[in-house]
Structure 1
């Protein structure tokens, strides 16, 4: 396998990589974006690494250097899992400044796929014209999928859809049960060159368990955080993530929540993400579970909701606590805050 093929098919036209790189981003052929040429220039450059940046959801974005062979192995695992074949169409609708968008290009290169491009903010109306020749594979973030759900018939233009970038809302997961596209949630991070595990969202194989891709093993740290072992890491020890997990075996796990989001109230440990899942179907505004100092409990749980203060709505939400939550899971206070701070990829920054 060569990770530097001579050609790349973009929007149905085969281009010679050398020419694209030599002409540079200033002279883009029709249908070729300058960001794509910039990445190809980096991929085919003399360095053995590419530079990527973390999302910034747990701190300032930082630069990471990934070996090209490591990135290529990640791309190959996806090609194998989804059984992607040369000539099939791949939909790129993610920004190329992030690793998820870059990996779509590498998959197209290594798999000899037809890389079809669309703006990340596109409404994807063109998918309605692709029912007879659907895109074999696409990757999106939850916000894009929510937009797509406004026109369910457009899913007929997608064979398989990978969803990542942030946690999948329960309402979105429920809505995807009726679409014909095979939908998968991903687990991974920039340091692992995107996903290391997938779980099926809809269909007969739907599950809340993630299954690792080839050659990847997981474990638990003494604190209960997921650890990852995979070939090509520039370190002898496994990656220790910030995600608390339940381990089924060395290749199967369930995510419980972020370690830095855990709330200890009255000596009891609570996972905000689990409580949020219970409320997602009932609260239409964006929200998260946070905490405030409390003289008696140490910390008390609060619901932070992205809307203006509304006393009637506040009473309604308090009733929802009684309907959906166990007694000790119920927040002691509701905080109204608008707008929430978010990362560039749309993740809510949990700040009171």
Structure 2
């Protein structure tokens, strides 16, 4: 294998990529606007949820409960009659509809356990799940304070001293931003390397490579390193200017160590992209294969859901996926400031997985080139 051939063929891939405006737009979007939108799309708390209240009690307590719902968590409550509850829910006007029954205050003061009906539009999942807990807490606090004739509860028997490490303000965008970067690194590395090989086949330029004094190993290496370099550069831009700059997320660990892990991860995913490109006959086929491979890599790697909550079979199978180890490495370095002494098992696993993927993809590429020759 000659380094000069790999260098010149790699530069040819970079020039070909520079002329593909659609892929350039995809790269720019994936590591800029997509990172910001993915990190901030899910609200961190309930915000301006529409709520309607049917007050059949008309008591001081029910009036107090109605007044406890106010922005920014809820919109100002809309008082509606009993007949308007189902109609408003069916029309999608309210996420929550609260029905305070008659004699609610009297039953509470008499020591009974009155019931309030809460109807929730469960199609609005982000608001429905969080908002139900908010409403239950608000009603319980107001009812308890009214029954005690004083505000403020009794001192708890145990005082819990909460110290949130690595994300003291519990900012959800910090987690979403890093996970979005990891997902886009994986996606773009598969897309760019696969598209590079399929583009050669569709444009007929792969025959030029067959008559050149280059080996399949040189061809594959020349497609891996330039695409990995482009994704790595885009990842660095995203971390420095979007994650650290625009989203104001502090990075605790060494960026050099993270980029080293990202480079090894790209070695594995770009090899996987070459393998998928040798299986697919066209870009549409490659896109379908990409969906089948990319979704499990992103959903089951531990980024969206902790691995400990998954079935043991899934945890064991996903150990052969490079994204599993890259997610662990990225979270340890960027969040917890881990060093090489902590993440070396992930680096070693990524290296072994990358070497296996590279060998399998190289064997498949040799077979494909041999059939074309």
Same fold (TM over 0.5): no
Structure number with greater Rg is: 2
Q: Which one has more relative contact order, counting CA pairs under 8 Å at least 6 apart?
A: 2
TM-score range, shorter chain: under 0.3
TM-score (norm 2): 0.21
More helix by share: 2
TM-score (norm 1): 0.22
